[in-house]
Chains A and B, each alone.
Chain A
Amino acid sequence: MGNLFFNRFLTQASFSVNRSAVNWELFKKGMNEMKKLFVFVLTALLVAGCSTAPKTDPTEGGTATPSASAAINVYTRDATSGTREAFEKAGDFAEQLTSSAIEVSSNGDMATKVGADVNGIGYVSLSTDFAANGVKPLNFEGVAPSEATVLDGTYGMQRPFAFTTRAAGDYESAEKEQLIAAFLDFLQNSTEGMLVVEKAGGVVDKSQGKAWAELAANHPIVNEDNSAITIATCGSTSVEKTLKAALEAFQPLAGNFQFTMNQTGSGDGYKRVLGSEKDGANRADIGFASRAFKSGEEDTSSAMASGQYCIDAVVTIVNEANTAVANLTQAQVHDIFTGTVTSWDQIQ
């Protein structure tokens, strides 16, 4: 194996040495030895690189049946992921993730990887198709994850997507204010709005939805040509997918208005519509947060409208062949993902 590697890179490496050696007068003597060294070093580096690289992309799924004493393979999302943020908060282990965790780049990737690894454990959003990926959702604190348990609040691994607007009358034009009210009505109450939000990964209670045609009667503004109006949103980056889907779906329903989304983080959601930066360069019309607005310091009572438009739920998943675990408490999630518990039989 080593020999094979060596031979493969020998030709390429010595080629590059020859090229660079032309200008390198200093090494004219003893160049042959240097060449060999260079080749050796290059090979060693490449081999080292190859042997550490699979850490992020494991392909070994192990055997079909996991043994109770087998080591747990922890999977995690990349650091910018909102799902990861929500999960770390729910498991109370922010910044303490075990260093042996394998990083995957997307929700679908996570499901595929855990579905291929009998000893894998990871987390995805509730909208994932579990069966198709060969993974099993785990209960959290004894509650099975489902739309119903998320909506009634018994399933704990969830967070609201909340919004707040500028104060009534504090808009560039009355038309814009009416249009924003119409959009929020569409987002919160219409079946069409709920459908696009749900498709983009949010959990909504569709039984409460009304047809947009019915709601639109309260918003005559949507029948105007609104292409000159630009709605500006800000705040959480996690809401981006659902919000973008809703805005794009609402555009043709409301006279093709324009929008700008500057999603930079939940902290800016309140600040840029009602707080200290509301008249600054980064002012926006609707602010979003992937958590409830903090009572006291983020007082939304002066807003024209505020509330939540959907819930984001995170589910811990294991391979469907895994029979060692069906339910996890917050403490167990904490222990597994911080590396305190490393095999299935240690889960108490």
Chain B
Amino acid sequence: MKTNRMPRVISDRFLQLLTVLSAALAVVVLTSLFVYIFSHGLSLINADLLRSDYWSLSKIVALDETRNQPGSYPRPENLGAEVAWSEKWGVGFVDHLSHEKKQLVLIEAVAENSPLASAVDTSSGANQGKPVAMSAGLQVEKIDFTDASGTADFTGMLASARAAEVAETLDQSAAKLTSMFIKTPGGGIRGSLVSTAYLILVSLLIALPIGIASAVYLSEMAKKNKVNAAIRTGIETLTGVPSIVYGLMGVSVLFPITAAMGAKTTNILLGALTMAIILLPTIIRSTEEALRVVPQGLRDASLSLGASQTQTIFKITLPCAMPGILSGILLSIGRVVGESAALIYTMGTFINDQPGLLKQGTSLAVHIWSVMSGEQPNFELACAISIIILIFVLILNLTVKLLSRRLQKSFR
């Protein structure tokens, strides 16, 4: 007996070991992924990232002629040691390393009566001549000035100057500041958040009614014949088609539709239409599943009380299936948030700070693609966006779990 048992024990142990090994590997891989993403991206996550624009706003400002001369502005006492203060112009600069690894010179403080406080916008357009607030955090690209003898020169980031040099040059040489080229910091993801919201709303608006209605037809009304079985198999197969194929179809087949509505380029509506098609199989499947769980007894009771089939479906079956349908919707939202390949084709890769339905824009996932595809991949920003997506998907998944638990409970 004992000799007979040994090989069995060994093979059992081997199989057990295999499962444990796989589990350990999965744990290690997933943990290291999380550690990587969080260690790189967490430092960037703050309200400013969510609120600010991705693109810098450039401005060229000029100073009020009557005040455009050096004076004496004592250094405010509350400034830190790292601030380079220009006594004659009453402005303080700091060095800053951006998350794109770019050395920046930022304005830190401007004295109340400094000539710089009189800056006005010189660009033609609605804001021409309007005052520009020299607030802390603005990038000093270039300061053009003339010295005492009238020779033009410039300083700032375009002259590769650091904060201390800018302040020193202004104090020593500048007799008059001809113009200043300043930029807002940028680097935020507000535009992509808005685009993602647009995308989710519009694609669900299109996919939900169609998806739920077809699921109701397929599972409640359609006869069980070969054609309907083929349709069902077809829909299930569609779930497995790579999304990039849908993207190609979207840009070639659906683009004329959005072009007829006035779109010149790929746009968010086109992305939403494509996403709606991608979502259809998911929504149909999950709605069908939800309808299947509704006990037959409920339908029979309704029918035996004299309700028509349609009344039964819309007043009894669908409401009972609601939690299941809702979890399908949440899964769809997760799908939209995670999609990138199809959207690169249909929405473009330009990060748009003022997205509109017929304009280009990027979802959060495509935003990651955009910041990673350049000459200088921005790992920090990509990881920060990943964290936001992860948290969003986590919340969705928890909600799905909650809903499906409720669904199971209600029919126990």
Give me the interface of A with B, judged by CB distance under 8 Å: 16, 20, 26-27, 30, 34, 37-38, 41-42, 45-46, 49, 78, 80-83, 105-108, 172, 195-196, 199, 222-227, 232, 237-238, 240-241, 248-249, 251-256, 260-264, 280-283
Contact = CB atoms under 8 A, between A and B. Distances in A.
Contacts of A281: 251, 255, 259, 265-266, 270, 346
B255 A252 contact: no
A264 B347 CA distance: 13
A46 B28 contact: yes
Contacts of A30: 13, 16
Nearest to B56: A248
5 shortest interchain CB distances as A-B pairs: A225-B125, A252-B60, A260-B350, A252-B123, A255-B124
B141 A249 contact: yes
Contact of B373 (A26, A80, A260, A283): A80
A241 B141 contact: no
Contacts of B375: 81-83, 237-238, 240-241
A105 B377 contact: yes
B17 A20 contact: no
Given A27-B20, A248-B183, A263-B374, 10 more contacts: A27-B16, A34-B16, A249-B181, A253-B123, A254-B123, A256-B127, A262-B360, A264-B349, A281-B259, A283-B265
B23 to A, nearest CB: 7
B311 interface: no
B36 to A, nearest CB: 11
27 contacts: A16-B27, A20-B23, A41-B21, A45-B28, A80-B373, A80-B374, A107-B376, A195-B142, A199-B157, A225-B125, A227-B126, A237-B374, A240-B375, A241-B374, A241-B376, A248-B56, A252-B60, A252-B121, A254-B124, A255-B124, A260-B265, A260-B352, A260-B360, A262-B350, A281-B255, A282-B348, A283-B264
A282 B266 contact: yes
Interface string B18-41: 001101110110001000000000
B350 A78 contact: no
B28 A105 contact: no
Interface string B250-269: 01000100010000111000
Given A83-B375, A195-B158, A281-B255, A252 B348 contact: no
Contacts, number: 123
A252 B59 contact: yes
Contacts of A41: 20-21, 24
A255 to B, nearest CB: 4
Interface of B: 13, 16-17, 20-21, 23-25, 27-28, 32, 55-56, 58-60, 101, 121-127, 141-142, 157-158, 160, 181, 183, 251, 255, 259, 264-266, 270, 346, 348-350, 352, 360, 372-377, 379
B20 A255 contact: no
A81 B377 CA distance: 8
A108 B375 CA distance: 12
A49 B28 contact: yes
Contacts of B348: 260, 262, 282
A253 B16 contact: no
A225 B130 CA distance: 14
Given A42-B28, A225-B125, A80 B372 contact: yes
A286 B122 CA distance: 27
A193 to B, nearest CB: 11
Contacts of A82: 375
B168 to A, nearest CB: 20
A281 B358 CA distance: 12
A56 to B, nearest CB: 12
B30 to A, nearest CB: 12
Nearest to B375: A82
Nearest to A241: B375
A227 B127 CA distance: 11
B160 A199 contact: yes
A227 B354 CA distance: 13
Nearest to B141: A249
Given A49-B32, A106-B376, A252-B60, A262 B24 contact: no
A217 to B, nearest CB: 15
A212 to B, nearest CB: 11
Given A80-B372, A249-B181, A222 B124 contact: yes
B62 to A, nearest CB: 11
Given A249-B141, A281-B270, A226 B373 contact: no
B101 A106 contact: yes
A255 B374 contact: no
